């Protein structure tokens, strides 16, 4: 997969893109991350990318010219490449959206700055708008890193074990069950017996139930759409009788 990122601050990406799994994914040529400085698509001596808003008001607006030219140059003649603007006005980024984006061979991400981008950028080249949550960042760069990270780990071969991404929290529609490793007892806290006995069916059942318990306690909203067996629905009903979810 190839992801092109249009930004005024390409250096911001250096750390996150050159460590750990994203680094290895690029080395294995499963992922190509290309950074493009929007300033390279300006035409004036001062390399201007923003201007004051028509109609007045505070802040600066990113000019349409450099952004649109940058998208067109980077995209080339190819059709059907999603051009995604990172903005708090976009649709909320979820695991489902990450899965959807991971199906594309190419993505172009535009990082907005200042008060926003000229509306004509949306009208001409943008095909999708994504927000990583209901809060306002200083720009789209951190949001783009979040999107790249969540999408990259879904590309086949990027994570070590094939099933690692499928069992994730949210991929199952539930939060994850608790994890334990050695030692079997630490500061008086024991690893649940069932995990030490090697009965894989019992372990699987325990994990599903603990995932349901955790989801009920922390994110009961997710249970509205989670796929549960009849037996698991009974378990949930028992849980609901015992304790109320933690309120946020
Ligand atoms: N740019 C500023 N805030 C953002 C957010 N929450 N998501 C995506 N892009 C942004």
* CATH 1.10.1270.20 applies to domain 185-247: yes
The predicted model scores a pTM of: 0.94
pLDDT tens per residue, range 16-48: 999 999 999 999 999 999 999 999 999 999 999
pLDDT tens per residue, range 98-129: 999 999 999 999 999 878 999 999 999 999 99
Q: What residue spans define the domains of the chain?
A: 2-152, 185-247
Q: Please indicate whether residue 183 is annotated as part of the active site.
A: no
Domains 2-152 and 185-247 share a fold: no
By DSSP bridging, strand 50-51 and strand 83-92 are unpaired
CA 166, chain centre distance (Å): 15
pLDDT tens per residue, range 1-23: 999 999 999 999 999 999 999 99
Which residue in the list 113, 122, 153, 213 is annotated as catalytic?
153
Average pLDDT of the chain, as a whole number: 95
Is residue 162 predicted with pLDDT exceeding 60?
A: no
Q: Where does 2-152 sit in CATH, by number?
A: 3.40.1280.10
Q: Please indicate whether residue 168 is annotated as part of the active site.
A: yes
Per-residue pLDDT band at 170 (split at 50, 70, 90) = confident
Which residue in the list 115, 128, 210, 232 is annotated as catalytic?
115
């Amino acid at each position: 997969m190839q992801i092109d990122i249009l930004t005024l601050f390409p250096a911001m990406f250096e750390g996150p893109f050159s460590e750990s799994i994203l680094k290895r994914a690029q080395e294995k040529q499963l992922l190509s991350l290309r950074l493009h400085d929007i300033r390279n698509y300006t035409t004036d001596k001062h390399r201007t990318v923003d201007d004051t808003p028509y109609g007045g008001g505070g802040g600066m607006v990113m000019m349409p010219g450099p952004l649109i030219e940058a998208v067109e140059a980077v995209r080339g003649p190819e059709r059907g490449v999603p051009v995604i603007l990172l903005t708090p006005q976009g649709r909320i980024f979820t695991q489902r959206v990450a899965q959807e984006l991971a199906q594309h061979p190419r993505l172009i991400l535009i990082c907005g700055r200042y008060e926003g981008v000229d509306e004509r950028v949306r009208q001409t080249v943008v095909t999708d708008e994504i927000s990583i949550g209901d809060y306002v960042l200083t720009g789209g760069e951190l949001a783009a890193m979040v999107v790249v990270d969540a999408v990259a780990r879904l590309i086949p071969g990027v994570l070590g074990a094939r099933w690692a991404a499928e069992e994730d929290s949210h991929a199952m529609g539930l939060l994850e069950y608790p994890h334990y490793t050695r030692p079997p007892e630490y500061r008086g806290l024991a690893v649940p017996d069932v995990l030490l006995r090697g009965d894989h069916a019992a372990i699987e059942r325990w994990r599903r139930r603990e995932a349901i318990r955790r989801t009920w306690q922390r994110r009961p909203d997710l249970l509205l759409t989670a796929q549960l067996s009849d037996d698991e629905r009974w378990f949930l009903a028992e849980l609901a009788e015992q304790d109320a979810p933690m309120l946020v």
